[in-house]
């Protein structure tokens, strides 16, 4: 993590840390509701929360599941 976090990324990261969860651990069917509550808790708009989460992922703070790689390996065999 070479770049400092934006204020939105910082507050969202602190909330994820407080909850002891990462974005990829939230079931897809619950993600929309979780994101809405996260935005409300962090006092940011929903689009700002999404951008902050993406920024955290882009900075390597949260891992992204490599589902595509597993599928690619299966099709190559």
**What does the pLDDT average to over 12-29?**
94
**What does the pLDDT average to over 54-66?**
84
Residue 49 structure tokens? 């929360």
Alpha-carbon torsion (53, 57, 58, 59), positive or negative: positive
**What three-state secondary structure class fits 73?**
helix
Cβ density class 35-59: b for 16+ within 10 Å, e for less: beebbeebebeeebbbbbbebbeeb
> pTM for the whole thing?
0.77
**What does the pLDDT average to over 22-32?**
93
Residue 57 structure tokens? 């992922």
Does residue 9 contact residue 1 with C-beta atoms inside 8 Å? Answer: no
Confidence of residue 64 (pLDDT cuts 50, 70, 90): low
Arithmetic mean of pLDDT over the chain: 86
């Amino acid at each position: 993590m070479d770049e400092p976090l934006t204020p939105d990324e910082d507050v969202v990261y602190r909330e994820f840390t407080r909850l002891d969860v990462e974005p990829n651990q939230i079931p897809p069917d619950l993600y929309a509701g979780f994101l809405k509550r996260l935005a409300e808790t962090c006092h940011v708009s929903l689009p700002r929360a999404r951008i902050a989460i993406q920024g955290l992922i882009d900075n390597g703070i949260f891992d992204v599941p490599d589902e595509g790689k597993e599928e690619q390996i299966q099709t190559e065999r």
